[in-house]
Structure 1
């Protein structure tokens, strides 16, 4: 078993760690996680600091929300939804546990904004007819040494080298109620976070998640914010002196941003 590289550091000390899937959620700030141009007709609403938040695209077909639940067994949910028409039924949905690392959330929302802009400017309806092949979402995992197994139930699963991260793709349509993509981290029965992409979700958004998962750009956390169950599996990139508290999200790795096709 690997030693806990953080045990001799103070709780408020800043560290940069990898892999991302075990780093903990980090500082939660919806404005920074989403990164939408709220000064350009993207409505943003939050009643109170630390409370629920929501944002919506100018076309009213995309929305994203953060619902904290500090008193519940789970700490809350991040949700992305889309409709073909503002008054129509939901076409697809993505949900993340509130404990999902903020860098993963930011990279998926960055890709979402890129999709929206491409959809708006090209008229190709890429928000609902995405031409990205599913392979684009898992080739980054294979390139970083994640294992691959295929089940006869129509799913394939990719697991991180440490065995504590996983991405599952349902390649056979077994019913619209089952997600096409799921991802999680942690040991069986004690997940640190999980994410679910419904059928119809653009594969480019799943590709944004997987590219962020395997990014080699360390993420910054304070020692007290790193989950205890994952500390012996972390690689410590640097340790720095404590700084004033901040809600800013560290910038994600350049390789994980932008269009994935």
Structure 2
């Protein structure tokens, strides 16, 4: 069985869907975070790759720790603190192998929440009232399956079975994440993302909205994981296609906004 990338050069640019199988793409912490660094957001990166950025109040910290020799190739991490000297109140982690665009969209929403809190009497970074269905209702409208278990979890799987989101709605006796997402085979995913309890639901909803967006991701053929290429579509072929026309993605519903407000 052939796939859309069969006869393309490894350096050939493509635009692909679904997003969860596209590979990490270009990893650049400064642009992935997209904070207003000229407005008091400190940013630092070592020559070996680790990077960190902070909000001016130092209550938000985000880091990138590349570890090329380990599964997941490193970690993106967000931590939020009610005061700079206190332990984190909530956290989010992403494997470095996740599509960088998903990380960018969560940080964009994080900045929006920060600015809303700064210019109002709200504290949505720590008291977010977004309904849980904002996270998973869009998944159901895009054909994801839904399974509820008696262990206090519900799981949503992509139509092709190569990605998912699991929600632990029963918080008793659990120190694990409230939400976990992955891309690839469940037993050996290409990437994982974990959201701790008390993470603003708005940020989780921004993540799932980006996950199912029909805006294709720009990659080269060599960027796309080999194991799942048959489950990908070339959404908008670029350049001359050898040996016929590369299949184009079938029509999909309109993109879901990255903002839940």
Does the TM-score normalized on the shorter chain lie above 0.5? yes
C-alpha change, 1:103 and 1:256, in structure 2 (3 Å) is farther
Corresponding residue of 1:250: none
The answer to whether 1:224 aligns with 2:225 is: no
Corresponding residue of 1:161: 159
Shift of 1:71: 2.6
Equivalent pair of 2:72/2:190 in contact (CA under 8 Å): no
Shift of 1:178: 1.5
Corresponding residue of 1:260: 260
User: CA separation in 1, counterparts of 2:163 and 2:60?
Assistant: 29
Corresponding residue of 1:100: 98
Cα deviation, 1:217-242, whole Å, max 9, x if unaligned, reads: 11110000000011000011122249
Q: Which runs of 5+ in 1 are unaligned?
A: 243-252
Corresponding residue SS for 2:35: coil
Corresponding residue of 2:107: 109
Corresponding residue of 2:249: none
User: CA separation in 2, counterparts of 1:100 and 1:183?
Assistant: 10
Equivalent pair of 1:43/1:58 in contact (CA under 8 Å): yes
User: CA separation in 2, counterparts of 1:224 and 1:241?
Assistant: 16
Q: Normalising by the residue count of structure 1, what TM-score does the alignment of the two structures yield?
A: 0.91
The answer to whether 1:18 aligns with 2:17 is: yes
The answer to whether 1:9 aligns with 2:8 is: yes
Cα deviation, 1:166-218, whole Å, max 9, x if unaligned, reads: 00111111335121110001113221100000011000111001001110111
- The partner residue of 1:145 within 131, 143, 146 is 143
Equivalent pair of 2:147/2:156 in contact (CA under 8 Å): yes
Q: Normalising by the residue count of structure 2, what TM-score does the alignment of the two structures yield?
A: 0.91
Corresponding residue of 2:251: none
Cα deviation, 1:107-140, whole Å, max 9, x if unaligned, reads: 1111100110111111211100001011101111
Cα deviation, 1:76-101, whole Å, max 9, x if unaligned, reads: 00000000011112100000000000
- The partner residue of 2:196 within 195, 198, 201 is 198
Shift of 1:39: 0.7
Cα RMSD, aligned residues only = 1.6
User: CA separation in 1, counterparts of 2:50 and 2:176?
Assistant: 27
User: CA separation in 2, counterparts of 1:168 and 1:145?
Assistant: 16
Shift of 1:255: 4.7
User: CA separation in 1, counterparts of 2:95 and 2:22?
Assistant: 14
User: CA separation in 1, counterparts of 2:257 and 2:107?
Assistant: 11
Equivalent pair of 1:107/1:256 in contact (CA under 8 Å): no
Cα deviation, 1:43-74, whole Å, max 9, x if unaligned, reads: 000122x5100000001000100000113343
Q: Which runs of 5+ in 2 are unaligned?
A: 241-253
Cα deviation, 1:141-187, whole Å, max 9, x if unaligned, reads: 01111111100011111011011110011111133512111000111
Corresponding residue SS for 1:15: strand
